Structure 1
Amino acid sequence: MTREAHLALEVGAQLGEGPVWVERDQALWFTDIKRKKIHRYDPESGDHHSWDTPEQAGFIFPAKSGGYIVGLQSGLHRFDSKKGKFKLLVAVEPGSPDNRLNDGVVDPKGRLWFGTMDDSEKSKTGAYYCFHRGKLTRTNVTSIAITNGPAVSPDGAILYWVDTLRGTISACEIWGDGQLGPSQLVVRIDPREGHPDGPTVDREGAIWISLYSGSEARRYSPAGELLERVRFPVSNITKIAFGGRDLNTAFATTAQHLLSPEKLLREPLAGSLFAFQAGVSGIPTPPIAD
């Protein structure tokens, strides 16, 4: 099956990333990494607001204690949206100033899983981390140039992570100590078809993967079977999040990053937020147990 995505919000993101539906706010939040922005979009009212960030921001999630936690280049920061202020919670890789935080997910226990990556997208200096109740743990999934995701199965038992340059989506068990079991390959995507970017898991346990330079998103079974495709009028799809009151609308961030001036002219909607009806609902994102 092939679906078509439609424009939801024209925002011109250089590198849109990290969409998340915040239940308590009934709005979609996402970032623009390269323009150093956080965006909030209410699809019912059409209201859109943005904040400047002091560093590149890869993701934003609600915190159980209130407010939000944002993955800035230097580490995890608490964000007060009313004041537009940021406060460092924990530094991540302070000895690697050329790295930045890229993408993340919150599992059913409120643990934040996220990845770091080389900002120049070349060196294999990235790794995945777990943050839970103030404790930061480096996992055994390391030596990656561009991390994306992770995503978590509905029962919170399996973590899916992406190595974008290798074109792979892998799965591993989540262990109770914040560590991960051995990884198993789920899908390998031919680079001629695009590069796997942010993954998301729906209520049925299927994996949605966005394709950078591929003009589409794909839905795979946990066994790696391609189930359906969604086509976009732009090249760079970065990540999908399920939102709306029933979590049955899929939103997708996109990017202008690395498009030539000629291609930007052919893709005037590049960097916009898109939406489509996926025929399946998503999983609520719990707040981070901070």
Structure 2
Amino acid sequence: MSKVECVCAVGAQLGEGPLWSATDQAVWFVDIKGRQIHCFDTRRRALTSWQAPEEVGFVVKAPGGRFVAGMKSGLYSFDPSDGKFTLITRVDSDKPRNRLNDGYVDAAGRLWFGSMDNDESQPTGSLYRFDNRGLRRCDENYVITNGPTVSPDGRTLYHVDTLERIIYAFDLNNGELSNRRVFVRIDKAGAYPDGPAIDAEGCVWIGLFGGWGVQRFSPQGELLQTIEMPVANCTKVAFGGDDLRTLYITTAWKGLSKEQIAAQPLAGGLFATRVGTAGVAPNEVRYDG
């Protein structure tokens, strides 16, 4: 593994959801609280940004160069060519304090994502599936959801209950979930599991909010590797580069005091390091509309 480098000192309040795009050799990610979608061109080391009308929890690839964005009120189509957002479907309309937080597209084109209490206090969040069959709630009673991600063989879905510090595993069969079980409990002092990602060996990488790093777990839940970071709040990783062995890491300064921010001047930046295991290329969401 190479040294960790801050490749884009964007200063995101709550950087999240890095997504590799081989088409433009770029990392897409969001600043949830800043209501921004960012695109970091890794060839020019240049950043392009779009302002979102609401807090935006994630973007995932869609056909035709578009994206699906998970925002406070629901799922929207986002076209970077003109910066327009078009509503696809509202989510949790009966829970106005909720917002969407993290998302993943499996190999079948199904979008899995979570909602959460924006005040981070009530268990009003749920795990959802969205595809051509529409929107379906698959699990509930979360305060802060993170993930999901899916194993390379498509048989296991991982989802995070951040406040309980638990990563769950589900059996996944034709888009249906069953057999929820504890995959890993995070026991590092002060650390909360944030966004998960999967590599080609089926290992789960997890950003540690308040934990100063990223951890990698085997499919059996054994801790294999820890990447130490110069900032406390590490939110999620994505694998990029031509060989999918460059690990990009989003971070945040949310929750830090003025003194802590001064001591962590790169908090909220996008970081990168080279790793020995390749990741899995992201998929495009498939839906009618």
TM range (shorter): over 0.9
The residue that corresponds to 1:21 in the other structure is 20
Q: Residue type of the partner of 1:143?
A: N
Deviation of residue 4 (structure 1)? 4.5
Aligned to 1:183, what secondary structure does the other structure show?
Answer: strand
The residue that corresponds to 1:166 in the other structure is 164
Deviation of residue 69 (structure 1)? 0.7
Contact 2:25 2:43 in 1 (8 A): no
The residue that corresponds to 2:89 in the other structure is 90
Q: Residue type of the partner of 2:103?
A: G
Deviation of residue 191 (structure 1)? 5.6
The residue that corresponds to 2:202 in the other structure is 205
How do 1:46-65 and structure 2 match up within 5 A? 46-65=45-64
Separation in structure 1 between the aligned mates of residue 141 and residue 2 of structure 2, nearest angstrom: 35
How do 1:109-258 and structure 2 match up within 5 A? 109-133=108-132, 135-139=134-138, 141-176=139-174, 178-190=175-187, 192-258=189-255
Separation in structure 1 between the aligned mates of residue 123 and residue 2 of structure 2, nearest angstrom: 35
Change over 3 Å in CA distance of 1:10–1:242 after alignment to 2:
same
Separation in structure 2 between the aligned mates of residue 4 and residue 160 of structure 1, nearest angstrom: 28
Separation in structure 2 between the aligned mates of residue 154 and residue 193 of structure 1, nearest angstrom: 31
Aligned to 1:263, what secondary structure does the other structure show?
Answer: helix
Unpaired runs of at least 5, structure 1: none
TM-score w.r.t. length of structure 2: 0.96
How do 1:3-18 and structure 2 match up within 5 A? 4-18=3-17
Aligned length, in residue pairs: 287
Deviation of residue 157 (structure 1)? 1.3
**Deviation by residue 1:150-206 (Cα, 9 ceiling, x = unmatched):** 111011111000000111111011132x33112111110126140000000001100
How do 1:32-111 and structure 2 match up within 5 A? 32-111=31-110
Percent same amino acid among aligned pairs?
46
Contact 1:108 1:155 in 2 (8 A): no
Deviation of residue 66 (structure 1)? 4.3
Deviation of residue 61 (structure 1)? 1.1
TM-score w.r.t. length of structure 1: 0.96
Contact 2:7 2:45 in 1 (8 A): no
Contact 1:201 1:282 in 2 (8 A): yes
Deviation of residue 64 (structure 1)? 2.5
| Large movers: runs of 4+ above 4 Å | none
Q: Residue type of the partner of 1:46?
A: R
Does 2:263 match 1:266? yes
Between 118-127 and 23-32, the greater mean CA deviation after superposition = 23-32
